[in-house]
Homo-oligomer: A and B are copies of this chain.
Amino acid sequence: MIKVALDVMGGDNAPYEIVKGAVIAVNENKELKVFLVGQTAVIEETINKLKSEGLSVNDSLLETVEAPEVITNDEAPVMAIRRKKDSSISVAMRLVKEEKADAFVSAGSTGAVLVGGQLIVGRLKGIERSPLASLMPTQKGVSLLVDCGANVDSRSAHLIQYAIMGSIYMENVIGIKNPKVAIVNVGVEEEKGNALVKETYPLLKSRSDINFTGSIETRQIPYGDADVIVCDAFVGNAILKLYEGVAGVLLEEIKKGLLSTTISKIGAMLSKKALKNTLSAFDATKHGGAPMLGLNGLVVKTHGNAKHNEIKNALIQCISFKNQGINDKIKEYLSE
């Protein structure tokens, strides 16, 4: 049985979509048990609403854990984690720390999740920094961007660990055999790069336990040229957020264009379905969020605006993580 502690109070669509994701996830996967962590009254009310909507709720696989406090996105993460010991994030993370749960999932404050991951769940012995790894949709499927926001001003030793943990994750959780690892760079020639990349490149190249393919220019990321993309968190964060921004603006403009004339509106109606099918390849939500790697348990951060489908997929991701023994594999590498 895989047990996941779910932060029911975090995210733009909490608690309804969060709880709904959990209810559907355990209905589809009998080996999954979810701790619904949050305000009991709110959770009960949501469960009742879902029941009244006709959803079958499997009470034996859902357990409510009371957490009276809520951490909002506006709060300074370190302060919030330190002060709000009874917040849904803190309580749920303690379940992982105490090995009552295998994994943690939240759509709440990214900062609080990152801080809580380090302070409450804690890093595996030997892991210097725990990166946030984001699953990014590409033309070929999905790539893992590590680190996309946890540790700025990283050193080459950190990036090496990111490459290894990312490879283990992609191979075992996402199912990509011998994943291609690349480092973000300003060009593909070996002499290119800033000080960090120039130092890290030969170290990555010398490792036999990863499939390092060299530098990747960001232009190639959406084409899916690499499976694991390694970089400092400042650069990774810039990449992740720009990806969202450019896609968002372009789709907005396209919609505006399609609705601008009567004739184009008819055209839009006719092409809507085909367009939707093609663009669904770029739907990040079906991969279920960003894992934080190298902790004593799995911590998964979904999008703040996650709906039940993304929550469900994030919960299901945890099954492979546990079944494939990702942390044992990371520990194995650390002991080598």
Interface residues of A (CB under 8 A from B): 76, 138-139, 149, 152-153, 184, 186, 191, 193-195, 197, 217-223, 232-235, 237-239, 241-254, 256-258, 260-261, 263-279, 281-282
A168 to chain B, nearest CB (A): 25
Which of B193, B245, B253, B277 meets A220, CB within 8 Å? B245
Question: Nearest 7 pairs between A and B by C-beta?
Answer: A267-B270, A267-B271, A257-B278, A264-B274, A218-B242, A152-B194, A219-B241
Q: For the complex, what is the distance from the CA of A191 to the CA of B78, rounded to whole Å?
A: 12
Q: Indicate if the CB atoms of A279 and B267 lie closer than 8 Å.
A: no
- Closest Cβ–Cβ distance, residue A257 to chain B (whole Å): 3
| A207 smallest CB distance to B (angstroms) | 23
Q: Cβ of B246 and Cβ of A258 under 8 Å apart?
A: no
The docked-state distance in angstroms from the alpha carbon of A266 to that of B281 is 23
Complex Cα–Cα for A175 and B84 (A): 50
Q: Are A254's CB and B253's CB within 8 A?
A: no
Contacts A184-B238, A235-B234, A235-B238; A253 near B269 (Cβ below 8 A): no
Q: How far is the CA of A242 from the CA of B247 in the complex (A)?
A: 11
Nearest-CB residue, chain B, relative to A184: B238
Q: List 10 A-B contacts (CB under 8 A).
A: A152-B195, A153-B194, A219-B244, A223-B245, A242-B242, A257-B274, A257-B276, A260-B277, A264-B271, A267-B271
Distance of A282 Cα from B249 Cα, bound (Å) = 10
CB contacts (< 8 Å) of A248 on chain B: these are 219, 222
User: In the complex, how many angstroms separate the beta carbon of A256 from the nearest chain B beta carbon?
Assistant: 5
A18 to B281, CA, bound (A): 38
Q: Are B238 and A253 in contact (CB under 8 A)?
A: no
**B264 near A273: Cβ-Cβ < 8 Å:** yes
Decide if B242 touches A258 in the complex (CB within 8 Å). no
A258 contact from B153, B235, B274, Cβ within 8 A:
B274
Q: How far is the CA of A281 from the CA of B152 in the complex (A)?
A: 34
Given the known interface contacts A186-B233, A195-B153, A238-B235, the answer about A281 and B269 at a Cβ–Cβ threshold of 8 Å is no
CA distance A268 to B272 in the complex (A): 10
List the B side residues contacting A221 at CB < 8 Å: 242, 245
Q: Which of B218, B261, B275, B278 contacts A245 (CB 8 A)?
A: B218
Q: How far is the CB of A96 from chain B (nearest CB, A)?
A: 25
* CA–CA, A26 and B193, complex, Å: 40
Among the interface residues A149, A220, A275, which one has the most CB atoms of the partner chain B within 10 A? A275
Q: A76 to chain B: which residues have CB within 8 Å?
A: 191
Q: For the complex, give the distance between the alpha carbons of A76 and B191 in Å.
A: 10
